[in-house]
Amino acid sequence: MKIFFALCVTTLFLCTVKSHHSWWQSMSLYQIYPRSFMDSDGDGNGDLRGIINKLDYLADLKVDALWLTPIYKSSMVDNGYDASNFTGINYMFGTMQDFESLVKRTHDYSMKVLMDCIPTYSSDQHEWFQKSVAGDEPYTDYYVWKEGKKDDGTMQPPNNWRSVFNGSAWTWNDKRQAFYLHQFTPSQPDLNYRNKDLVEEMKDILRFWMKKGVDGFRIDATPYLVENQNLNYEMMQQWRDVVDEYAKKVDQVSRVLMVEDYANISTIMKYYSSGINFPFNFGLMDINNLSTATDVKNILDSCILKMPNGATANWVVGNHDNPRLVSRIGIHRATAVTALALLLPAVAVTYYGDEIGMPDAPIFSKAPSKFTDPERSPMQWNNSTSAGFSTNIKTWRPVNPNYKTLNLAFAKVSDDSYYNYYKALASLRNMHAVRSGNLQVKVLENDVLAFSRNKKKKNSVYVLINFSEQNKTVNLMEFENTDPELAFYRASPGLGLTSGSLMNANEINIPPTATMVFVDS
Ligand code: GLC
Ligand code: MG
């Protein structure tokens, strides 16, 4: 009773991770945008050999798994999300042998390789589409074709659906004399999941990559898979079965399936019961410059409280489709969000470059912003030519001119850098408290978000984030079982606070906007 009472009063919520857990349940997942990560052959485009050359770096960063955005053959209208062959490697990134070495070398480091799976559409250059246009079987119905409506002598699309990017979601094809559906660009015709042969083709593609040693998939744009939400979830379950069956029959590898869906929480949560290990949680991306500690606590509550029992949480703070973390919310909030992502329970997702606090690159082009993607600029490795990304001074996207001072090499030797802060926090992910401990979250002194991760007494991590512009003094004894003396582990960069000192848990001073981490071990 006493424990129950204590839980109700002091614990805003508890989240226990099951003890037998699979590797992906607490992984640190690193998203690589291959074209911008590392160029090994000087053509100005990042490539697979470039990634291989940087595996050391990723292992040192304590990354557990790499997720590569698409490297498939493509005409690059949508930067690889328009694949013209789902089982071939775009020559720009290298060869299939390079991919095989990448998988092998990554596994040698005990890291995993996850691929982007793009089931919703192919490129219009894909052989399937060409054959579908021509009416060749079995491809005729691989895409969603509809006759138009004649209106005043002109052909009108079958309905008023709009593409996510712009204009009608239907494009007329003269040869086929019909409209085809495309939720994104007209170069990305939607595949038709009501066609049994197509469904089988996609499963074979998953098997193809599993045979290459791939450890899981990030499934792209799932809300647009089928224009029927239930069929959508059903496909997810079928892919789960394919993956599990492969493991059972062939290699016993436990594989992870993650989906991208920017929908509301209840739609998202249904993926958990449809065979998906976790849908990406973009909740922390709602934090902005004005967010208060209470706002953030509400975000955490809504993300965690609604999770099905035993499900795995995850925290995405940036990706190739959104402005970069520090550009979105400024450096202080960014360091706060980094602490949340790395130290809340379960999976932490890091977008390449965010670990050194890279901002968006300035935009030089007049093209609409969707296609300039300032968050996809080359990784800033050092202060040599093209930031050490390429030996070529011309790179596919301009390097951010701030690379002279903001780069990994420089950050490594500056104790108080974003990178060293990130690394220090990431290294705590090995602690039992962070890997599988309980979570308690509180708002203290109005605007300090405080959370603890705790396995048992003497195995705890406390994170304090001051969302205000004032100094705050908080009492951590408000958390259950807190040691009266806590070792100060690390603070967000730029505060001049030195690590290692012991502080009284009942009176901890936090400078304005600071994040402070304490460890009791
Ligand atoms: C996914 C990708 C995005 C792409 C879109 C359409 O949302 O993350 O980069 O533009 O699909 O292909
Ligand atoms: Mg290259």
* Tokens representing residue 404 in the block: 């002279």
d(CA 515, CA 467): 9
Q: How far is the CA of 209 from the centre of ligand 1 (A)?
A: 20
Regarding whether 341 and 235 lie in a shared domain, the answer is yes
Candidate list 220, 261, 373, 520, residue with the active-site label: 220
pLDDT tens column, 191-230: 999 999 999 999 999 999 999 999 999 999 999 999 888 8
Catalytic residue check, 136: no
Residue 152, domain member (yes or no): yes
Residue 217, domain member (yes or no): yes
Regarding whether 266 and 145 lie in a shared domain, the answer is no
pLDDT tens column, 374-415: 999 999 999 999 999 999 999 999 999 999 999 999 999 999
Give SS3 for 248.
helix
Residue 476, domain member (yes or no): yes
Q: Which range marks the domain in which residue 84 is found?
A: 22-121+196-426
Q: Residue 452 in contact with residue 461, Cβ under 8 Å?
A: yes
Cα radius of gyration rounded to whole Å, the chain: 24
CATH assignment of the domain containing 139:
3.90.400.10
| 319 Cα nearest atom in ligand 1 | 8
Residue 3, domain member (yes or no): no
* pTM more than 0.75: yes
CATH assignment of the domain containing 460:
2.60.40.1180
Residue 11, domain member (yes or no): no
Residue 6, domain member (yes or no): no
| 164 Cα nearest atom in ligand 1 | 6
Residue 5, domain member (yes or no): no
Regarding whether 286 and 261 lie in a shared domain, the answer is yes
Domain termination residue (choose one: 407, 426, 445): 426
pLDDT tens column, 416-459: 999 999 999 999 999 999 999 999 999 999 999 999 999 887 78
Regarding whether 94 and 60 lie in a shared domain, the answer is yes
Q: Residue 217 burial (CB < 10 Å; 0-12/13-18/19+)?
A: buried
Q: Which residues line ligand 1 (CB under 6 A)?
A: 78, 81, 184, 188, 220-221, 260, 320-321
* Strands 438-444 and 472-474, bridge-based pairing: unpaired
Which ligand has the nearest atom to the CA of 53?
2
Catalytic residue check, 220: yes
Q: Residue 197 burial (CB < 10 Å; 0-12/13-18/19+)?
A: middle
pLDDT tens column, 253-270: 999 999 999 998 889 999
Residue 9, domain member (yes or no): no
According to DSSP, residue 376 is labeled: G
CB atoms within 10 A of CB 405: 10
* C-alpha 128 chain-centroid distance: 30
Regarding whether 449 and 463 lie in a shared domain, the answer is yes
Regarding whether 374 and 508 lie in a shared domain, the answer is no
